[in-house]
Chains A and B, each alone.
Chain A
Amino acid sequence: MDWLYVLMPIAGIKIFWPGLIILGIGVGIIGGFFGMGGAWMVTPGLNILGFPMAFAIGTDIAHMAGKSLISTMRHGKFGNVDYKLGLIMLVGTIVGFELGAQMVMWLERLGSVEKVVRYLYLVLLALIAWMVFADVAKKKRKEREAAAAGQEVDKLATGIEWHKTLHKIKIPPMVHFNVAQIYCSAWLPILVSLLTGWLAGILGIGGGLIRMPALIYFVGCPTHVAVGTDLFEVMISGLYGTGTYTYKGRTELVAAMIMLCGAAVGAQIGTVATKYIKGYGIRIAFGLCVIGCALSIILKMLAKGIPGYGGVFDGAATVLILGLVSCMSIYIFVRMMQGAKAEIAAKKARAEIGVAG
Chain B
Amino acid sequence: MQKLLARIVALGVLAWLCLPGIAGAAGPAAAPLVIVADTRIATGWLGWWANLYNESHLLFALVTVIIIPVVGLIFGVLADLIMGHIGLDLRSRELAEH
Contact = CB atoms under 8 A, between A and B. Distances in A.
Interface of A: 7, 9-12, 52-54, 62-63, 65-70, 73-74, 77-80, 107-108, 110-116, 119-120, 123, 127, 155-158, 162, 165, 181, 220, 222-224, 239, 242-244, 246-251, 253-254, 256-257, 260-261, 264-265, 267-268, 272, 274-275, 278-280, 340, 343-344, 347
A77 B42 contact: no
16 contacts: A12-B37, A52-B32, A66-B68, A74-B76, A78-B92, A79-B93, A158-B97, A224-B93, A242-B64, A243-B64, A246-B65, A247-B58, A249-B57, A272-B90, A278-B97, A343-B88
Contacts, number: 192
A110 B23 CA distance: 6
Contact of A155 (B1, B34, B80, B97): B97
B23 A113 contact: yes
Given A67-B72, A78-B90, A9 B61 contact: no
Interface string B9-47: 001000100111011111110011111011101100011
Interface in B49-85: 49-50, 53, 57-58, 60-62, 64-65, 67-69, 71-73, 75-76, 78-80, 83
Residue of A9, A74, A108, A260 most packed against chain B (CB within 10 A): A9
A116 B62 CA distance: 34
Given A111-B26, A114-B28, A9 B95 contact: no
A124 to B, nearest CB: 10
A110 B22 CA distance: 10
Given A119-B22, A165-B1, A243-B65, A9 B42 contact: yes
Contacts of B38: 12
B42 A264 contact: no
Contact of A108 (B27, B53, B61): B27
B37 to A, nearest CB: 5
Interface residues of B, number: 60
A222 B18 CA distance: 37
A268 B91 contact: no
Given A73-B76, A162-B1, A246-B61, A7 B69 contact: no
B20 A280 contact: no
B68 A10 contact: no
A239 B97 CA distance: 31
Given A110-B23, A112-B26, A155-B97, A12 B69 contact: no
B93 A275 contact: yes
Contacts of B98: 156-158, 181, 220, 222
Tell me the interface secondary structure of chain B in the complex. Answer: helix
A80 B93 CA distance: 9
B63 to A, nearest CB: 8
Interface of B: 1, 4, 11, 15, 18-20, 22-28, 31-35, 37-39, 41-42, 46-47, 49-50, 53, 57-58, 60-62, 64-65, 67-69, 71-73, 75-76, 78-80, 83, 86-93, 95-98
Contacts of B75: 66, 70, 260-261, 264
Given A108-B27, A112-B23, A268-B83, A10 B53 contact: yes
A274 to B, nearest CB: 7
B47 A9 contact: yes
Contacts of A54: 31-33
B43 to A, nearest CB: 9
Given A10-B50, A70-B79, A115-B25, A260 B72 contact: yes
A162 B61 CA distance: 42
Nearest to B21: A115
Given A107-B23, A156-B97, A9 B49 contact: yes
A274 B18 contact: no
Contact of A66 (B4, B28, B69): B69
A10 B26 contact: no
A9 B40 CA distance: 10
B8 to A, nearest CB: 8
Residue of B50, B62, B93 most packed against chain A (CB within 10 A): B93
Given A114-B27, A181-B98, A242 B65 contact: yes
